[in-house]
Amino acid sequence: MTSRPGPLDPTATFYVAGHTGLVGSAVARHLRDRGHTHVVGRSSAELDLRDREATFDFFAETRPRYVVVAAARVGGILANARHPVGFLSDNLRIQTNVLDAALEHRVERLLFLGSSCIYPKHAAQPIVEEALLTGPLEPTNDAYAIAKIAGIHQVQAVRREFGLPWIAAMPTNLYGPGDNFSPTTSHVLPAMIRRFDDAVTHASDHVVNWGTGTPRREFLHVDDLADACVLLLESYDADQHINVGWGQDVSIRQLSQMVADVVGYEGGVEWDTSRPDGTPRKVLDVTRLSTLGWRPRIPLEAGLRSTYAWYRDHAGAPRR
C-alpha cells in the first residue's frame, strides 16, 4: 500500500539530488537542522546524473525512501541564450534518470523542483499554476523551461500510472548562501552583488547593469524554500504543480538600489539597453501554498544582507 503524505521519518534515507548547489544545500541543511540523520548526496564529480547506469547503481546502493530533485544545469540569461542545447539535453537526462531510478525503487515520496521560468512570457500576473502551456515561452530560457515542463509531466505520469504521491513545485527566483556569483553564468541578483562589490573594491565610480531596469521580479531566500519543501512533502498530494514564492515583486532598478545600499556603493549606475530584459514581469500567485498555512520568513533586505555577508566570507576577494 502506498504511504500518503504525513510526518517524515527522520531516520529514513533522504536523497537530495544536487545537494552541493544553491537549492540542494539549503534543503539538506534544513533537513539536518530538523533532526534527519541520514541525508545523502553525491557531488557531480562523484556521480554524474546524466549517466543512467551510474544513477541506477546509486539508487540500488542507497535505496532512499524520500527524494528531492534539486539537481539541474542552471544559469542566467547569457548562459541560457548561448547554450540552449546543453540546458535542454543535460536537464532532460538528469531528471529522467533520477525519476526513472526512483520509480524502479518505488521511492515513497519525491519532490521535483522546477522554476517559475516555465510559464509563458506574457502570462497574466500574478501567475497561477494553470497558466502553464497557455502561451509562448521567454526565448532566452525556453530550452531550460521545456526540460522542466517535461519533469512536471513525468511526475504527473507516475502519479497516474503507479499511484505514488510524488509532487512538483515551481519556486520563484532564488538567492542565498551557496549562490553562483560568476560574472557570465549567474542570475541577476548574485550578478549585481558581485558587480557592486567589485566597484567598491576597485573604487569605481560607475556600474553598468543589463537591460532597462524596468522588468519586475520576485525573490525568495533558499532557506525559505527549503522550509516549504518539507511542508509540501508532509502535507501536499495533488497532480497540479505548486508555486512557491512571496507573491510580491520589485523592479530590477529597485533591486539594483537595494544591492548598492547593502554593499555600500555610492557611485553612478548605467543601464545597457542593448542587453535583453527577459520577461517583463514575473510574480507568482501563491494562493495554493498559502492555504497550507505557509509564508516566507526572510524579507528581501535582510536576505540580501546575509547573502552579501556569505559572499564576502566565501566568494569575494578581500578588498584592496
β-pair type (242-244, 167-171)? parallel
Q: Is 113 annotated as a binding residue?
A: yes
Q: Does residue 66 have an active-site annotation?
A: no
Q: Is 19 annotated as a binding residue?
A: yes
Q: Which of 158, 134, 104, 127 is nearest to 289 (CA)?
A: 127
Q: Which amino acid is at 183?
A: P
Judged on CB neighbours under 10 Å (0-12, 13-18, 19+), 106 is: exposed
Place of cell 497557455: 134
Beta bridge partners of 169: 113, 242
Q: Is 217 annotated as a binding residue?
A: yes
Q: Is 36 annotated as a binding residue?
A: no
| SS3 assignment, position 212 | coil
Q: Is 22 annotated as a binding residue?
A: yes
Q: Active-site residue among 144, 236, 265, 308?
A: 144
Q: Is 187 annotated as a binding residue?
A: yes
Q: Is 291 annotated as a binding residue?
A: no
CA distances from 77 to 8, 127, 188 (A): 37, 20, 9
- What would the grid cell of residue 203 be? 573604487
Q: Is 235 annotated as a binding residue?
A: no
Q: Which of 71, 63, 68, 70 is nearest to 101 (CA)?
A: 63
Q: Is 148 annotated as a binding residue?
A: yes
Q: Is 115 annotated as a binding residue?
A: yes
What is d(CA 149, CA 91) in angstroms, rounded to the nearest whole number?
11
Q: Is 116 annotated as a binding residue?
A: yes
Binding-site positions for NADP(+) read 18-24, 113-116, 148, 171-174, 187
Q: Which residues are annotated as a binding site?
A: 18-24, 113-116, 148, 171-174, 187, 195, 210, 217, 277
Q: Which residues are annotated as a binding site for substrate?
A: 195, 210, 217, 277
Active-site positions read 144
